[in-house]
Amino acid sequence: MAYQRMLLCFLAISGLLSIYVLCVSLEMWVPWRMADVSVLQTANNSRLIRQVTLHTSICVSSSLSQGFLAALRINSGVLSIRDPGASTTTTAGPDRLWRAPTSQGTKHPTTAAKRLTTAKQAPGVLLSTQPVKPTKPDLIGNWYRAEDRRPQTTCPDAIFKKWLSKDFQERFIPTIPVLQWAEHATPQEYQRLKAFPGTYGWGMLDYQNLTASLSLLNLTANQRMLDDWDVRGNGSQCIRCAVVGNGGILNDSRKGAEIDGHDYVFRTNGAILKGFEQDVGSRTTHYIFTTNTMRNSMGAYHGAGFLGPPQSKETRYVFLPTSIRDYLLVKAVATHTQVEQGPEKNKNPSTYFGEDASTEKLKIFHPDFVRYLRNRFLPRFRDIYRPTTGCVMLLAALHTCDQVNAYGFITPNFRNFSDHYFDKKYHKLIFYSNHDFNLEMNLWQELHKAGIMRLYMRP
């Protein structure tokens, strides 16, 4: 009996001590999914609240509109929010407009606070979703800038609404920046992103080269993937996009007219059109590439008829930056000068994009977007892995268009088809060490079955 009393006393004391540690020491970290993020204006209506307290690791910028960010509220009770420039604290209620939880958890404030210091100075919202413990597969910088990306239409069946379903809400971030431009080239953002290599950040270039390129992308057209919809739309309620890969499944498909009938047509790398119009169409509104893959395609597929990127009045050129070469080529196109250094040194950009290429036609993916795709849709153990250019192209369309039809992408019966639709004889698909076609194939099947997109398949 005495032993039982001692055990009960020990448990009671342990419980009280645990409550003290959690509540009194204030070491309890509030995860993103528990935070109620509300954007309110100060009393003088002059600026938006910049920082959410209670260690939520979310920094809200005055550059985002009140109406849009008010939609970022998450229903979890009352939260006190302080404006760093004001002397008062505002209490936000539990209004729920949309929810963007993450399954990854959140990092302890002692380390996350360092990232908040950077975010306070840079426009945008820094969403810290780094897990407390290492996850498998490891994540690469699972925190991102946020942008005001409002839908361009009132499409009743828009993909955006489907992304918010329970099946995808833990992966999808509606405020993720798809493109980068002049506004992003700040010392604070450079410090944040230089930690990530290759296509995931700015670790491969110095600040001078970064600003020399991004500062030229200061037009509205550089900020929007579908920059001419106001003119092109003709009163259409939904934006329809065809995303065309180069897979052999398109050979003898007779899908050309269907593809060209979309509002926008995305293509990538060795997109050969001449002689294959019946199968793949003739229009290209968006050509997605890296400088390396474009030039490799020009060499490898020259004999099949690929002489360079498609050129037309409606064609936009979307860089997937993987090295300094992409930023140097952006600068050369925008300034109508030769490339200054690297493998393309002294090359005239008109060689690739024609004489009519201009700054208005240029776009470049934001490294946060590519990192977000890798972390949330295509997680892999290997650091060497990155999503294929075609994969980034398709997921970018799924983040900007209302309706997407995908053609020429890998399907479970890929062995029935040659590697490319323009192959003169059968070539089996080659699996490269830095890509994972099976991972991407499974994602396409998942998105097709969920109605997020329609994937062209055939026996």
Q: Quickly count: other Cβ atoms within 10 Å of residue 98's Cβ.
A: 12
**Is beta strand 58-59 parallel, antiparallel or unpaired with respect to 79-82?**
unpaired
Q: Are 196 and 164 in contact (CB under 8 A)?
A: no
Per-residue pLDDT tens over the stretch 252-305:
999 999 999 999 999 999 999 999 999 999 999 999 999 999 999 999 999 999
Separation of alpha carbons 388 and 308, rounded Å: 19
State the pLDDT at residue 40: 29
6: pLDDT confidence band, cut at 50, 70 and 90?
low
Q: Could you tell me which residues come within 8 angstroms of residue 269 by beta carbon, excluding any fewer than 6 positions away?
A: 246, 289, 293, 294, 297, 389, 390
Torsion sign (Cα): 211, 216, 220, 221: negative
Identify the pLDDT of residue 65.
Answer: 38
Minimum mean pLDDT range among 4-18, 64-78, 299-313, 343-357: 64-78
> Which strands, in side-by-side order, build the sheet including 51-52?
89-92, 79-82, 51-52, 58-59, 126-128, 143-144
Q: How far is the C-alpha of 332 from the C-alpha of 330, rounded, in Å?
A: 5
Residue pLDDT, tens place only, 97-136: 222 344 443 333 333 333 333 333 344 545 444 433 334 4
Beta strands across the sheet bearing 403-407: 362-364, 316-319, 286-289, 264-268, 240-244, 403-407, 454-455
Mean pLDDT value across residues 403-409: 98
- Scanning 305-366, the segments in alpha helix (DSSP H) are 324-335, 350-353
- CA nearest to 389, candidates 271, 300, 293, 311: 293
Average pLDDT, the chain: 77
pLDDT in tens, 147-170: 988 889 999 999 999 998 888 988
* Strands in 43-189 per DSSP E: 51-52, 58-59, 79-82, 89-92, 126-128, 143-144
Ordered structural domains, the chain, with CATH: 26-135 (no CATH), 182-455 (3.90.1480.20)
Q: Burial, 242: exposed, middle or buried (Cβ in 10 Å; 0-12, 13-18, 19+)? A: buried
pTM, two decimals, is: 0.74
* pLDDT average, residue stretch 170-183: 96
Give yes or no for a contact between 306 and 297, defined as CB atoms under 8 angstroms apart.
yes
Mean pLDDT lowest among 256-270, 323-337, 417-431: 417-431
Report residue 80: phi and psi, to 5°. -85, 130
pLDDT at residue number 146: 92
Name the CA dihedral angle for 90, 96, 98, 104, rounded to a multiple of 10 degrees. 80
348: which 2 tokens? Answer: 């005239």
